[in-house]
Amino acid sequence: DAGVIQSPRHEVTEMGQEVTLRCKPISGHDYLFWYRQTMMRGLELLIYFNNNVPIDDSGMPEDRFSAKMPNASFSTLKIQPSEPRDSAVYFCASSPRGGISRGYTFGSGTRLTVV
Amino acid sequence: AQSVTQPDIHITVSEGASLELRCNYSYGATPYLFWYVQSPGQGLQLLLKYFSGDTLVQGIKGFEAEFKRSQSSFNLRKPSVHWSDAAEYFCAVGFTSGTYKYIFGTGTRLKVLA
C-alpha cells in the first residue's frame, strides 16, 4: 500500500494566484480529511468527507477555500485567490469505515508558501 | 467545551532516560484517544490508540500510554529514549458524539541529548 499520497510536496505561489492541492487516499478508506498546520494555530481540521460527500466544512476559513472529492480515489483543496496568511503545511488523511476508533493515516503534506 | 491539552511545549531528555509526555482532555464521556508522532518534514504517524479495555496500551517503537479516567489523562511513556525518538508528539481525541473528527493537542517537541 502506497499510503496517502499528496502532491505537490512544495508549492510557492504569488499572492492572488490560484492554488490546487491534491490527495489520493488509501484505497478502500471511506473518510478523507484535510488539515492545515501552522506554528500559531497547530493542526486545524478544514473539512472531511465520507464516501465522497462533504460532511463537515466548518473549519474552512473563508470562501476562498474549496474542496472537492469527485471520486473515492481523489480529492482537491483549492485556494483562490491565495494570500500570504495561507502559508502553511496542508495535510490530507484518510480512514477506513469505523475510522473514529481506528485512527487516521496521514500523507506527507504540502508545504504552501504564498509570497 | 471539548478540548485537548498538552502542557509541555518542549521536553529535553538524555538518550537512555525515561520519558513521559502529558495529555489531558475535557469531555463528558470517555473519548477515543491517540498519540501521533511527526518527524521533521513528515506527516503524522499513529503510535497507539485507546478505545476501551485495558487502560495501559502498547504501541509501536516501544511506546506505551496509560488512560486514567479520574484524571482525564492519556500520558505517553517510554522507558528508554533513543536519539531517533526526537520529533514532535501530538495527542488527539476523537469524540463519541457522532462526529468523525479529532481534536489535536498543540504538540510536544522532544529533543534527545546524546
Minimal Cα–Cα distance from B79 to chain A, Å? 24
Cell of A66: 474549496
B102 interfaces chain A, CB cutoff of 8 Å: yes
- H or E element: which one contains B14? strand B10-14
pLDDT value for B96: 67
Residue type at position A57: D
User: Cell numbers 491517540 correspond to what residue?
Assistant: B34
Residue numbers of B between 58 and 87 with CB closer than 8 Å to A = none
Query: Smallest Cβ distance to A100: which of B100, B104, B106?
Result: B100
Cβ A81 vs Cβ A28: under 8 Å:
no
- Spell out the per-residue pLDDT of chain A, length 115, in tens: 689 999 999 999 999 999 999 999 999 999 999 999 998 888 999 999 999 999 999 999 889 999 999 999 999 999 999 999 999 999 999 998 876 777 889 999 999 999 9
Rounded to an integer, what distance in angstroms lies between the CA atom of residue B80 and that of residue B82?
7
Q: DSSP code of B17? A: S
Q: Which of A9, A11, A33, A4 is nearest to A86 (CA)?
A: A11
* pLDDT surpassing 80 at residue B41: yes
- CA neighbor of A33 nearest in space, from A112, A94, A83: A94
Q: CA triplet B98, B100, B103: central angle to 5 degrees?
A: 110
- Which has the closest alpha carbon to B62: B46, B81, B43, B40? B81
Q: Which three cell numbers stand for residue A56?
A: 463537515
Closest CB from B42, B46, B107 relative to A103: B46
Instruction: Looking at the complex, report in whole angstroms how far the Cα of residue A42 sits from the nearest Cα belonging to chain B.
Output: 6
